[in-house]
Amino acid sequence: SILFGLFILEEANLPAGEEIFLAVTWTVMLSVLLHGLTSVWLSERYGQWYVIHRRSHMAEAEPVDEMPTR
């Protein structure tokens, strides 16, 4: 999104280019903030939901090989 905003600001020469870039910047900043504020709460909620609704056909229940550490 930031790269797209920079492209609009520098290459497209739109009359509202700076306003569009400002909107893109605020959107990204608020998205990062909200993801950070809700990540722990939502991951805990998902963990609780998974324990209650666990089924063998769910992708989350499939066994996987451990990835080697580099």
* Residue 68 located in a structural domain: no
Residue 22 to residue 42: CA distance in whole angstroms:
29
Answer yes or no: pTM beyond 0.85.
Answer: no
pLDDT of residue 17: 76
> What would the pLDDT profile of 31-70 be if each residue is shown by its tens digit?
999 999 999 999 999 889 888 887 777 787 788 888 888 7
Answer yes or no: is 59 within a domain. no
Asked, for residue 6, whether it belongs to a domain, the answer is yes
Q: Look at residue 12 in the predicted model and tell me its pLDDT.
A: 75
DSSP 11: I
pLDDT of residue 31: 94
Q: For the chain, how many structural domains are there in total?
A: 1
- Which of 52, 51, 3, 46 lies closest to 28, judged by CA? 3
Task: Tell me the residue range of the domain where 33 lies.
Answer: 2-54
Check residue 29 and give its pLDDT. 93
